[in-house]
């Protein structure tokens, strides 16, 4: 829930996320940061007090407790590689800092001054030491290999866990040696879920696989490949991700877009021909990536545009309101959350294709999806492993919002359908059509 404030996440856990079956909600960074309305101010920490554009410590704790009661665990975005990029300024807490001095938290000897580039900034991503010990876009790089910094970061993460948080996103993990993260986490104790941001780059020495010992790792090759497949390569290339040299499915955290890629490189809500929506349905239906993430974000024109409506997230019915997009409520997305919860880790069954942009597959004998990423209708008979019966098409958000559209009747494992251009269809045994429909 990118940039949603704590009060609005709290309300959304109760109103929608819990009932829809979302297991976790990931928040923007909760700690103090440089002042400003741009979204990326959140990625310039000034201390570990939980006072940010998105709310106070009390509001954060209240949100975590309410979400957990609604069945939704909380993942906090932990910015631990660096502090700010400003030469001096004021924090959201109202305190003053300079680039290498954050009174009460860090002072000058807690930073890397890599000495490998003229300005101490990263210039060459093929050089491991530069990537991990020089500054990312001028952000003061913490000496994460020192006892004091490791202890201070561990204290912050322990404090987050004490609020009831059970998941952490480790921001900029590629810029911290995996062994430093291991050391920090060893001081924290068990964390139920960790996802680490390690952006794969061709010809770079630092590999996502180096980080799996610490927890899940974000698989950006998946994000790039989905864009390619849905816009040019063909989605019939997406049956198997097991033989590409990527992260193992159980370690891979996958997504169609995150808050960075939606601005820079991936599919996003502006993508033509419904490809973003269909790719998200695919990511929830396909078993690769033990923990898929759905981004919920807001309309933007310029890259820096901050959150609308004073960070107060808002949805109207099943769609966004006041500039928020509310992707998590889109019927095909929330319907596929129920699908994924029902099919669990079942294998792919009954893979079939039409054109290169038309695929259908089952998940064991529990669910079946068909995706028509083509500008022509797909009329076909589909073979499934599902029990005979009348199913809701959960691409309409069913059953939470009722069984939208016509039910799909499976007989002898088969059904026929006319799938309109650029739409999908999904059924599972947890969403049978009500009798009489």
Catalytic residue among 197, 210, 219, 262: 197
Cβ-Cβ contacts under 8 Å for 199 (sequence gap 6 or more)? 174, 218, 220
**Alpha-carbon distances of 80 from 129, 152, 160, 214, 316, rounded to whole Å:** 17, 10, 13, 15, 35
Instruction: Please tell me whether residue 437 adopts helix, strand or coil conformation.
Output: coil
Q: Indicate the DSSP class of residue 298.
A: B
| Alpha helices, DSSP H, located in 24-108 | 57-69
Distance in Å, CB of 176 to Ca ion, minimum: 5
21 binds, among Ca ion, ligand LM2, none (CB under 5 to 8 A by kind): none
**Catalytic residue status for 204:** no
Nearer to ligand LM2, 79 or 160 (CB): 79
Catalytic residue among 12, 59, 141, 171: 171
Residues numbered 281 to 300 that lie near Ca ion (CB under 5 A) are none
Q: DSSP letters of 319-358?
A: EE-TTB--GGGSHHHHHHHHHHHHHTTPPEEEEEESSTTE
Nearer to Ca ion, 92 or 130 (CB): 130
Cβ-Cβ contacts under 8 Å for 137 (sequence gap 6 or more)? 85, 121
Nearer to ligand LM2, 66 or 258 (CB): 258
- Beta strands 408-410; 367-372: pairing state: unpaired
Closest among 319, 340, 322, 338 to 330, alpha carbons compared: 319
Residue nearest to ligand LM2 (CB): 85
Q: How far apart are CA 264 and CA 138, in angstroms?
A: 19
**Catalytic residue status for 197:** yes
Nearer to ligand LM2, 27 or 395 (CB): 27
> Phi and psi dihedrals of 123, rounded to 5?
-120, -30
Nearer to ligand LM2, 193 or 415 (CB): 193
85 binds, among ligand LM2, Ca ion, none (CB under 5 to 8 A by kind): ligand LM2
Q: In the stretch 72-111, what mask flags binding to Ca ion with x, by CB under 5 A?
A: ---------x------------------------------
Closest among 252, 256, 218 to 235, alpha carbons compared: 256
Nearer to ligand LM2, 29 or 292 (CB): 29
Residue 175 interacting with Ca ion (CB under 5 A): yes
Distance in Å, CB of 86 to ligand LM2, minimum: 6
Residues contributing to the site for ligand LM2 (CB under 6 A): 40, 43-44, 79, 85, 136-139, 171-172, 197, 260
79 binds, among ligand LM2, Ca ion, none (CB under 5 to 8 A by kind): ligand LM2
First to last CA, the chain: 35
Q: How far apart are CA 143 and CA 153, in angstroms?
A: 11
141 binds, among ligand LM2, Ca ion, none (CB under 5 to 8 A by kind): Ca ion
171 binds, among Ca ion, ligand LM2, none (CB under 5 to 8 A by kind): ligand LM2
Residue 141 interacting with Ca ion (CB under 5 A): yes
> Phi and psi dihedrals of 211, rounded to 5?
-100, -5
Distance in Å, CB of 171 to ligand LM2, minimum: 5
Residue 12 interacting with Ca ion (CB under 5 A): no
Which are the catalytic amino acids? 171, 197
């Amino acid at each position: 829930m990118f940039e949603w404030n704590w009060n609005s996440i709290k309300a959304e856990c109760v109103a929608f996320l819990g009932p829809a079956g979302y297991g976790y909600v990931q928040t923007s960074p909760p700690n103090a940061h440089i002042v400003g309305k741009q979204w990326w101010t959140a990625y310039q920490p000034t201390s570990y007090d939980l006072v940010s554009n998105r709310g106070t410590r009390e509001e954060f704790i209240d949100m975590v407790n309410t979400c957990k009661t609604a069945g939704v665990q909380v993942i906090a975005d932990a910015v631990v590689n660096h502090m700010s990029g400003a030469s001096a300024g004021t924090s959201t807490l109202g305190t003053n800092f300079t680039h290498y001095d954050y009174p009460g938290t860090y002072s000058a000897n807690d930073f890397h001054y890599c000495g490998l580039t003229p300005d101490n900034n990263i210039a060459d991503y093929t050089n491991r030491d530069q990537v991990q010990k020089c500054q990312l876009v001028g952000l003061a790089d913490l000496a994460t290999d020192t006892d004091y910094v490791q202890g201070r970061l561990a204290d912050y993460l322990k404090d987050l866990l004490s609020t009831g948080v059970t998941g952490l996103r480790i921001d900029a993990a590629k810029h911290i040696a995996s062994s430093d993260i291991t050391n920090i986490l060893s001081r924290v104790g068990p964390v139920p879920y960790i996802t680490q941001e390690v952006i794969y780059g061709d010809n770079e020495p630092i590999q996502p696989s180096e980080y799996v010992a610490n927890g899940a790792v974000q698989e950006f090759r998946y994000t790039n490949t989905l864009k390619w497949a849905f816009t040019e390569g063909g989605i019939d290339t997406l049956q198997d991700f097991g033989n590409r040299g990527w992260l193992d499915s159980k370690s891979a955290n996958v997504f169609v877009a995150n808050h960075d890629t939606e601005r820079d490189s991936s599919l996003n809500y502006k993508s033509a021909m419904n490809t973003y929506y269909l790719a998200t349905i695919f990511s929830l239906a396909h078993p690769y990536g033990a923990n898929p993430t759905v981004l919920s974000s807001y309309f933007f024109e310029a890259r820096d545009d901050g959150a609308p409506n004073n960070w107060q997230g808002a949805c109207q019915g099943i769609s966004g309101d006041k500039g928020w997009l509310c992707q998590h409520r889109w019927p095909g997305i929330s319907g596929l959350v129920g699908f994924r919860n029902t099919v669990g880790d079942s294998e792919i069954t009954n893979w079939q294709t039409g054109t290169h942009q038309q695929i259908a597959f089952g998940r064991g004998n529990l669910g079946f999806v068909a995706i028509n990423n083509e500008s022509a209708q797909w009329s076909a008979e589909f073979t499934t492993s599902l029990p005979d019966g009348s199913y809701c098409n959960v691409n309409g958000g069913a059953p939470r919002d009722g069984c939208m559209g016509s039910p799909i009747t499976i007989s002898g494992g088969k059904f026929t359908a006319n799938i309109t251009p650029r739409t999908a269809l999904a059924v599972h045994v947890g969403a049978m059509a009500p009798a009489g429909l």
